[in-house]
Amino acid sequence: MIGFRLFYLLARLWLTSMWLVAPAMAEIRFDNALGSDILGRPVRYALYLPPEYEKDNRSYPVLYLLHGGGNGQPSDWFTIAGLGQTLDRMISEGTIRPLIAIAPDGRRDEANDIATYFLDDQDGRVLWQTMFFEDFMPAIEKRHRAIGGGDARAVLGISMGAVAATIYQMQAPDAFAGVAAISAAFRTPKQVLDLSSDGYRSRYAGVLGADLKGEERLNETWTALLPKTLADQTDKARFKRIPRLYFDIGADDPFFEASTDLHFAFRNAEIKHRFRVTEGGHDWNFWRTSLEAALLHVDAVLTRGYGE
């Protein structure tokens, strides 16, 4: 009887000690919103807070997550891609440093029949990119204990979001430590010209202008967003020493040709970057398997892991 009671007491002590030292859990919140004077409406976002966030007072770097087009939305990162579990594991293993991840809603409205590309409309009707820089990021980094500043901020995008991530980095090189672009949906001129009227409208009626046909689509706005234009007009000094831009594209992706054009344009401009080609298409199977390598790049630019 004494032996059993001793065993029982020891077991209770062990269980109590395990409960006391249980690791803090990360938290994912989906129903968040910030007001925007520029858009004149709230902008919703999904939020990942790293383990220990609620237990300490430290500040964290921020990773902005830009989702894909079509039916893409902020929750995709966590419900389909499983990004929360990947971050939990990599942080727990010490592979990457803890960070806050923010996935803004890049949809135009509930119908979302015209993509925003996370950019400003050509006619100025919806200024999503302006909102992101002037309203959203400052408010986010005030609300959620962010370190703040470009060197503590990165962007990860897929498809449509990968295009925006690239453009953001090139147009505002000091605003981010770096970006990771998975399956960037850049199109060749032929692909834009070949789009049906409905196909063009759903993708580019906002960014390039509505009801454009033929060569009208390849206008000044289109030219301003070409990789060569972005490379020629950016501050190249920011990209001389480390590869702030990381691209991963599937060999069977319909945007492969335009992505290789981007790679050559950046290489010819001596903009240091990483360009990775692996098997796969333009789908969640490819994106899920690409996340870990992209996060390693994000961590490297945030922690000077490239030897800066």
The per-residue pLDDT for 55 is 87
Q: Counting beta carbons within 10 angstroms of the beta carbon of residue 148, is it exposed (0 to 12), middle (13 to 18) or buried (19 or more)?
A: middle
The per-residue pLDDT of the chain, averaged, comes to 92
CB 259 within 8 A of CB 282: no
Higher pLDDT among residues 98 and 307, named by residue: 98
CB 251 within 8 A of CB 257: no
What's the CA gap between 23 and 135, in Å, rounded? Answer: 35
The DSSP bridge pattern shows strands 27-36 and 62-66 to be: unpaired
In this structure, is the dihedral angle defined by the CA atoms of residues 178, 269, 120 and 203, taken in order, positive or negative?
Answer: negative
The per-residue pLDDT for 16 is 42
Helix, strand or coil for residue 92?
A: helix
Tens-place pLDDT, residues 85-123: 999 999 999 999 999 999 999 999 888 999 999 999 999
Element (H, E) at 300: helix 284-302
pLDDT at 21 over 70: no
Tens-place pLDDT, residues 129-162: 999 999 999 999 999 999 999 999 999 999 999 9
